[in-house]
């Protein structure tokens, strides 16, 4: 008997992305799944349109302040209370595209690797896809350096980039994990990390509980550019990067993530190194844009 997967998707507006995402999911070669969408008070008719076009999708409503973490947790809690006999959770964003064999590959990978969390390789959606996340070989808490298996921006090569690799942490864009893990380590940390890093924090908690963290290069998610991406590119200021919660460089989120996971002795070193790495990277990028180097 095939294992049953519950796919949880937090959404806020972007109805077209959501409809494309659902269309891709219902074309999967693997069919034993159910979908729970948490609509965090969208203003574009998301709840009504999904209800009408996909009545089989479970829909829950948010209060407009759930962000990624709260929306994901609400969808997980709904599944635990309302859906019977399932084996895995899959976290997914609505702004991704997937191939028809995506879920089949991901389930096969986790079935062949017991007691693990597995995420898909994350690629950019373009004619020549680039690797966005392919796993971290080593996260140094002392220097705040992330040694990746493949540097972000590396051109994806179907023949070269294959197999399953271990990672020091994982991201939530196509993350499959045993449903029982929620009972062991709890939900994603909404209180401290409402938007960014709750997925990585979740994976690190699982790792401390004895689970392997893996990236499957046969399972691919393609990130589709949207207004959030455009906002980050256009607001290329150090103030925005450090102090806007919608930024992956948001300093408070990074600080809380470190406090939750960094060895206490290395915490001051990590915070200082991480801050100056962000600032240094920003300055270097600005110089390149101006043709200064």
Distance, in Å, from the CA atom of 172 to the CA atom of 156, rounded to the nearest integer, reads: 20
129 and 158, same structural domain?
yes
282 and 173, same structural domain?
no
Q: Within 13 Å and on the Cβ side, how many CA atoms surround 290?
A: 7
- pLDDT of 112 reads 97
121 with 134: CB under 8 angstroms?
A: yes
Where does residue 210 rank: exposed (0-12), middle (13-18), buried (19+ CB within 10 A)? exposed
Q: Which of 175, 193, 225 is the C-terminal boundary of a domain?
A: 225
Distance, in Å, from the CA atom of 283 to the CA atom of 183, rounded to the nearest integer, reads: 44
Please give the distance of CA 193 from its chain centroid, rounded to a whole number: 13
Distance, in Å, from the CA atom of 87 to the CA atom of 29, rounded to the nearest integer, reads: 18
44 and 9, same structural domain?
yes
- pLDDT of 32 reads 97
- pLDDT of 292 reads 47
Domain residues for 133?
A: 5-225
Q: What are the pLDDT digits (tens) for 247-271?
A: 888 889 999 999 999 999 999 999 9
158 and 88, same structural domain?
yes
141 and 267, same structural domain?
no
CATH code for the domain in which residue 184 is found: 3.90.550.60
Pairing of strands 5-11, 33-39: parallel
128 and 246, same structural domain?
no
185 and 120, same structural domain?
yes
- pLDDT of 1 reads 64
Q: Which of 200, 225, 250 is the C-terminal boundary of a domain?
A: 225
What stretches in the chain show pLDDT beneath 50? 231-232, 289, 292-293
201 and 68, same structural domain?
yes
116 and 48, same structural domain?
yes
- pLDDT of 290 reads 57
Q: Which of 189, 207, 225 is the C-terminal boundary of a domain?
A: 225
172 and 254, same structural domain?
no
What's the first-to-final CA gap in the chain, in angstroms? 59
259 and 173, same structural domain?
no
Where does residue 158 rank: exposed (0-12), middle (13-18), buried (19+ CB within 10 A)? exposed
237 and 100, same structural domain?
no
Our count of domains for the chain comes to 2
């Amino acid at each position: 008997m095939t294992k049953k997967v519950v796919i949880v998707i937090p959404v806020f507006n972007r109805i077209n992305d959501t409809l494309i995402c659902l269309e891709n999911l219902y074309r999967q070669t693997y069919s034993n799944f159910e979908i729970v969408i948490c609509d965090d008070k969208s203003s574009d008719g998301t709840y009504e349109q999904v209800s009408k076009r996909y009545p089989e999708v479970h829909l829950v409503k948010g209060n407009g302040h759930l962000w990624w973490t709260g929306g994901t947790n609400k969808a997980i809690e709904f599944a635990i209370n309302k859906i019977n006999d399932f084996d895995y959770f899959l976290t997914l964003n609505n702004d991704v595209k997937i191939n028809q064999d995506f879920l089949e590959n991901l389930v096969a990978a986790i079935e062949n690797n017991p007691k693990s969390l597995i995420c898909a390789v994350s690629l950019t959606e373009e004619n020549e896809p680039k690797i966005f996340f392919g796993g971290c070989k080593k996260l140094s808490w002392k220097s705040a350096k992330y040694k990746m298996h493949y540097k972000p921006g590396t051109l994806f090569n179907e023949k070269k980039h294959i197999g399953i690799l271990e990672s020091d942490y994982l991201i939530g864009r196509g993350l499959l994990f045993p449903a029982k893990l929620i009972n062991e380590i709890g939900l994603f940390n909404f209180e401290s990390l409402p938007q960014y890093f709750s997925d990585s924090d979740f994976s690190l908690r699982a790792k401390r509980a004895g689970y392997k963290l893996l990236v499957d290069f046969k399972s691919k998610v393609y990130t589709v550019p949207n207004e959030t991406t455009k906002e980050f590119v256009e607001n290329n200021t150090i103030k925005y990067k450090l102090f806007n919660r919608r930024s992956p460089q948001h300093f408070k989120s990074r600080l809380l993530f470190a406090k939750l996971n960094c060895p206490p002795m290395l915490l001051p070193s990590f915070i200082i190194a991480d801050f100056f790495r962000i600032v240094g990277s920003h300055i270097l990028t600005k110089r390149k844009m101006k043709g200064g180097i």
